[in-house]
Amino acid sequence: MSAEAYAPGRVELLGNHTDYNEGVVLGAAIDRGLNVTGERREDGLIVVHSAVMGRLEIPRTQLRPQQEHCWANYALGVASELSSLAIPIEGFDVTIEGNLPLGCGLSSSAAVAVATAFFLLKLYERDLAPLQIAKLCQRAEHRFAGVQSGLLDQVCSIFGRADHAVFFDARSERVEIVPFPRGLSLVIAESRHKRELASGLYNERRKETRAAAAQLGVPALRDVSDATLKKSNLSPHLLRRARHIVGENERVSNALELLAHGDGMGFGALMNESHESSRTNFENSTRELDLLVNIARGLPGVLGARLTGGGFGGATVTLCETERAGQIAEQLRRQYASSAACMPRIFVCKIADGAH
């Protein structure tokens, strides 16, 4: 028996690092993603192929995180999590391919996990609720890849809808599909500065925000206001981390009002504010990301720009007028290549449907 599944990447629009702080976030699925195709095997082997990353073959009985082929851990982790739900995952052969750039902040890891989950559920003729699949993929990333990610990436990849943003409340787990203003496009620019979240910076920020919440006596920074921070005794270091999370939650709440009125200009201004906070408070931007953002903001037709995803390298997202999107992408590519001495991958993307 064979099966096929597809999962898109996602772009984080606002709400940087808020999801694991029980906050709110806005993202969207994009029109670039990963296909997973394959079939059952009767010999008890799990074989994972990728034209980009290579090939891994292990016995089903040795299903555990891999050190040498860590790229495969997202798919292997999903198989392990499904097995823990008494779904009889045995041997299978799977090929991963697509047009989603790897390691640049567009959540290729979540796309691998989500597509693998949809593939295996179809292959073994089982069904799970969408949010249950998202949580399963998150657990796979935690346990097999070592990244303590929030749930935004998986939620956007699964719940995405064309021309709509995805609002996610990480505390209540409410998902809402929000219409995006017409006449606007997103330009994704990859800095060519690779990210390696499992190396520690992502997990370090998670520890810092938890420490700030603990010192403030609250379950999570979701429960903190800017006024509370001004009266707190947090160290300057933790205060900056907390200000970023608190500010991002406020920006997402404000963005919902702006989107309801089709206010793209106001939304772009919030994106600009978000990047400045990432740069100064959360320190998860880089010289390359700042350069892309600064170039984009100086181009006619651009409403706002910011880093997207975990940061520490990766990509930026620029909100712009659709009629100028192609020109903006080309100017951004040319100016960045001239200043950074490398050619970035830049593309105009559409907000797309989720996994299937």
Catalytic residue positions? 153
d(CA 20, CA 267) in angstroms, rounded, equals: 23
SS (H, E, C) the chain: CEEEEEEEEEEEEECCCCHHHCCEEEEEEEEEEEEEEEEECCCCEEEEEECCCEEEEEEHHHCCCCCCCHHHHHHHHHHHHHHHCCCCCCCEEEEEEECCCCCCCCCHHHHHHHHHHHHHHHHCCCCCCHHHHHHHHHHHHHHHHCCCCCCHHHHHHHHCECCEEEEEECCCCEEEEEECCCCEEEEEEECCCCCCHHHCHHHHHHHHHHHHHHHHCCCCHHHCCHHHHHCCCCCHHHHHHHHHHHHHHHHHHHHHHHHHCCCHHHHHHHHHHHHHHHHHHHCCCCHHHHHHHHHHHCCCCEEEEEEECCCCCCEEEEEEEHHHHHHHHHHHHHHHHHHHCCCCEEEEECECCCCC
276 is written with which tokens? Answer: 């400045």
CB of 191 within 8 A of CB of 174? Answer: no
**Interior angle at CA 200, CA 197 and CA 203, nearest 5:** 85
d(CA 57, CA 307) in angstroms, rounded, equals: 36
- Residue 228 CA neighbour count, 13 Å, CB half: 15
d(CA 59, CA 237) in angstroms, rounded, equals: 47
